[in-house]
Amino acid sequence: MDQIIIQGGAQLSGTVKISGAKNAALPLLAASLLSDQELILHNIPQLADIDSMFELLIQHGVQISKEGSTITLNARGVVNTTAPYELVRKMRSSIVVLGPLLTRFGKARVSLPGGCAIGTRPVDIHIEGLRKLGAEIELEDGYIVAKAPNGLVGNTYTMPIISVQGTENVMMAAVLAKGETKLINAAREPEVVDLALCLNAMGAKIEGAGTDTIIIQGVESLNPAQHTVVCDRIEMGTYAIAALITKGELTLTDCDVSLIPIVSDLLIKAGGEINLLDANSPSKGFHIKTISDNICGVDILTEPYPGFATDLQAQMMALMTISNGASMVTETIFENRFMHVSELCRMGADINIHGSSALVRGVPQLKGAPVMATDLRASASLVLAGLSAAGQTIVQRIYHLDRGYDNIVGKLQNCGATIERTKASS
């Protein structure tokens, strides 16, 4: 098993190209199932989760070819509408094939994903939404067995909780349903907007993505299309925090800081300065640096978009561990997303958890230690902590990082970090 070894203390300086968003790319790949025409997706990141989605789509019968970060998909010859447990348990986002398979083929059998390290993560909203469109759904032997032999029919569905993939799944199903579907209390995340843009390029009729009400007029079939995946705002936020935690400066390209509105405000409050790249520069992006010797403590409350993303909570908490003052970090999206806290404390952080909040009292410096990654974003927070700590940090179980960070070691090395990936001895 691989591990990452970091010698902390180097101030980062350089340029990082931000990849396409994992959480946009996954449903976009699944959207290929909606059509018998070619879908070409540009800017697909190289990640283990993307490979898992390829594996799933290939076993459904989708033809996939790759050229760099461009992927061409053709779902003309789908042979199988079952998403098996062995693949879904590897990656719970596999659930987004349910809506497309059901609406195009009138049937789908998708394994229930089960819980994960950050929470129980039920899929009841996906199921209820599809039932609203007329699907008959039973749970059998750990599988969601969905049928709509005469096709789905548009309806109004008020989502009881804001769910990103729930919105994506029902929106994709509604694209080929008869008549109009209205999704109220829909997720407003940029990844939902990106999916709607791609679906519209394929010939869907979707309005309102990015607001809390999405209206979809069903169409009979879709066209060939091309789409470029939006930048990964979580990767962008992680590198912005890396600049501040090492008291360094980074230029982040191929990205859009307006996609992390609350996060960027808090990074500025914490002592960062953000300047957009010149309009004449070859790529869109921004420059971030620390302008104060001390990081200020700021309070963080995770919320659905445009609030502070739960996927950046662990990384921001790593920054707060070395702040001058205290910070209250409140997690409102997932019930168990503080797994990084005990590992950060092993590096000398002063953090106390009270229910869904963590009180972080800043310390002058963290100390390197062997630590264990527990989930994707927790792993990123440990890498950030290691970059700033005195001495050596060894991050184990880094397969979590491979799921969501495209070449994190190479990107950090290019900016002066002393970091390497090695084989663990046992």
Least distance to ligand EPU, CB of residue 327, Å: 21
Q: In this structure, how many other beta carbons lie within 10 angstroms of the beta carbon of residue 355?
A: 8
The nearer residue to ligand EPU, 60 or 126, going by C-beta atoms, is: 126
Least distance to ligand EPU, CB of residue 388, Å: 22
| C-beta of residue 98 within 8 angstroms of C-beta of residue 126 | yes
> How large is the C-alpha radius of gyration of the chain?
22
Binding residues with ligand EPU: total (CB under 6 A): 23
The nearer residue to ligand EPU, 165 or 253, going by C-beta atoms, is: 165
Least distance to ligand EPU, CB of residue 75, Å: 20
Near ligand EPU by CB under 6 A: residue from 218, 248, 386, 404: 404
Annotated active-site residue 116? The verdict is: yes
Structure tokens at 206: 């979707």
Asked if 251 is part of the footprint of ligand EPU (rule: CB under 6 A), the reply reads no
Asked if 109 is part of the footprint of ligand EPU (rule: CB under 6 A), the reply reads no
In this structure, what are the phi and psi dihedrals at residue 228, rounded to the nearest 5 degrees?
A: -105, 125
| C-beta of residue 250 within 8 angstroms of C-beta of residue 275 | no
Sole window of 77-85, 162-170, 208-216, 357-365 interacting with ligand EPU (rule: CB under 6 A): 162-170
Least distance to ligand EPU, CB of residue 177, Å: 19
The nearer residue to ligand EPU, 24 or 389, going by C-beta atoms, is: 24
Q: What angle do CA 409, 375, 87 make, to 5 degrees?
A: 100
Q: What is the sign, positive or negative, of the torsion defined by CA atoms of 239, 245, 251, 257? A: positive
Residue with tokens 């001390």: 294
Q: What is the DSSP string of 61-117?
A: T-EEEEETTEEEEE-TT----EE-HHHHTT-GGGGGGHHHHHHHHSEEEEE----BT
Contacts of 153 (CB under 8 A, 6+ apart): 133, 134, 177, 178, 179
Taking the C-alpha atoms of 413, 415, 418 and 419 in order, what is their torsion angle to the nearest 10 degrees? -40
Least distance to ligand EPU, CB of residue 118, Å: 6
Sole window of 120-128, 142-150, 218-226, 266-274 interacting with ligand EPU (rule: CB under 6 A): 120-128
Query: In angstroms, how far apart are the furthest CA atoms of the chain?
Result: 65
Instruction: State the catalytic residue, choosing from 116, 198, 345, 415.
Output: 116
Asked if 238 is part of the footprint of ligand EPU (rule: CB under 6 A), the reply reads no
Contacts of 56 (CB under 8 A, 6+ apart): 83, 87, 88, 91, 94, 97
Site for ligand EPU in 190-229 (CB under 6 A): 191
Helix H or strand E encompassing 415: none
Q: d(Cα 152, Cα 155) in Å, to the nearest integer?
A: 9
Asked if 93 is part of the footprint of ligand EPU (rule: CB under 6 A), the reply reads yes
Least distance to ligand EPU, CB of residue 363, Å: 27
Least distance to ligand EPU, CB of residue 423, Å: 25
The nearer residue to ligand EPU, 139 or 161, going by C-beta atoms, is: 161
Asked if 164 is part of the footprint of ligand EPU (rule: CB under 6 A), the reply reads yes
Least distance to ligand EPU, CB of residue 161, Å: 5
Taking the C-alpha atoms of 98, 99, 101 and 106 in order, what is their torsion angle to the nearest 10 degrees? 110
Sole window of 104-112, 115-123, 195-203, 383-391 interacting with ligand EPU (rule: CB under 6 A): 115-123
Q: d(Cα 44, Cα 218) in Å, to the nearest integer?
A: 27
Asked if 380 is part of the footprint of ligand EPU (rule: CB under 6 A), the reply reads no
190, 65, 173: which is closest to 127 by C-alpha?
173
Asked if 122 is part of the footprint of ligand EPU (rule: CB under 6 A), the reply reads yes
Asked if 406 is part of the footprint of ligand EPU (rule: CB under 6 A), the reply reads no
Sole window of 118-126, 266-274, 356-364, 384-392 interacting with ligand EPU (rule: CB under 6 A): 118-126
Near ligand EPU by CB under 6 A: residue from 161, 184, 276, 424: 161
Asked if 163 is part of the footprint of ligand EPU (rule: CB under 6 A), the reply reads yes
Asked if 123 is part of the footprint of ligand EPU (rule: CB under 6 A), the reply reads yes
Structure tokens at 394: 């060894």
Q: Which residues are catalytically annotated?
A: 116
Footprint of ligand EPU (CB under 6 A)? 23, 26, 93, 119, 121-126, 161, 163-166, 191, 310-311, 333-334, 376-377, 404
